[in-house]
Structure 1
Amino acid sequence: MEENFEHPVYDKNTIEFVTVANEFCILLESSGKISKMDFIERAQKLLPLLYLKASLLPKVENEFEGEIEKFVGEGDWEYIRTAVLEKMGANDEYLEVFDDGMRDSDEPIVASISENFADIYQDLKDFLTSYRIASVEIMNDALWDLNTNFHQYWGQSIVNSLRAIHYLLAHPEKLEDDLNEQGPSSLDRLDMSQSIFSQRQQQWGDEEE
Structure 2
Amino acid sequence: MEENIENIVYSKNVLEFTTVANEYCAFIEKGYEISQKDFFSKIQKLLPLLYLKASLLPELRAINTEECEKFVSLEEWEIINKISKSILNEFDSFNDVYDPLMQEDENSCSSSISENIADIYQDLKDFVNLYNIGSVEMMNDAIFECKLNYKNFWGQRLVNILRPIHNIFYGNKELNTEVNTEIKDTDNNSWNISQKFENLDDDE
Same fold (TM over 0.5): yes
Deviation at 1:22, TM superposition (A): 1.1
Q: Which residue of 1 aligns with 2:84?
A: 84
CA 145–201 in structure 1, closer or farther in 2 if over 3 Å, else same? closer
Matched, 1:54 2:51: no
Whether the aligned pair in 2 keeps the contact of 1:84 and 1:114 (CA below 8 Å) is yes
Deviation at 1:177, TM superposition (A): 7.2
CA 39–180 in structure 1, closer or farther in 2 if over 3 Å, else same? closer
CA distance in 1, matches of 2:62, 2:5: 18
Counterpart amino acid of residue 30 in structure 2? S
Q: Which residue of 2 aligns with 1:31?
A: 31
Q: What SS does the aligned partner of 1:64 have?
A: coil
Q: Which residue of 2 aligns with 1:103?
A: none
CA distance in 1, matches of 2:140, 2:200: 25
Q: Which residue of 2 aligns with 1:145?
A: 145
After superposition, what is the alpha-carbon deviation per residue over 1:65-104, rounded to whole angstroms, capped at 9, x for unaligned? 1211111111111111111000000101110016xxxxxx
CA distance in 2, matches of 1:165, 1:23: 19
CA distance in 2, matches of 1:197, 1:184: 14
Q: Which residue of 1 aligns with 2:102?
A: none
Q: Could you tell me the TM-score, scaled by structure 1's length? A: 0.83
Matched, 1:13 2:34: no
CA distance in 1, matches of 2:137, 2:203: 27
Whether the aligned pair in 1 keeps the contact of 2:34 and 2:179 (CA below 8 Å) is no
CA distance in 2, matches of 1:133, 1:87: 31
Q: Which residue of 2 aligns with 1:199?
A: 196
CA distance in 2, matches of 1:7, 1:181: 45
Whether the aligned pair in 2 keeps the contact of 1:95 and 1:110 (CA below 8 Å) is yes
Aligned counterparts, 1:68-83, within 5 A: 68-83=68-83
Q: What SS does the aligned partner of 1:111 have?
A: strand
Q: Which residue of 2 aligns with 1:117?
A: 117
The runs of 5 or more residues in structure 2 that have no matched partner are: 99-105
Alignment RMSD: 2.9
CA 7–179 in structure 1, closer or farther in 2 if over 3 Å, else same? closer
Counterpart amino acid of residue 197 in structure 2? R
Q: Could you tell me the TM-score, scaled by structure 2's length? A: 0.84
Q: Which residue of 2 aligns with 1:41?
A: 41
> Between Structure 1 and Structure 2, how many residues are aligned?
198
Q: Which moved more, 1:108-117 or 1:169-178?
A: 169-178
Deviation at 1:110, TM superposition (A): 0.7
CA distance in 1, matches of 2:46, 2:158: 10
The runs of 5 or more residues in structure 1 that have no matched partner are: 99-105
Whether the aligned pair in 2 keeps the contact of 1:96 and 1:110 (CA below 8 Å) is yes
Deviation at 1:171, TM superposition (A): 1.3
Counterpart amino acid of residue 86 in structure 1? S
Q: What SS does the aligned partner of 2:49 have?
A: helix
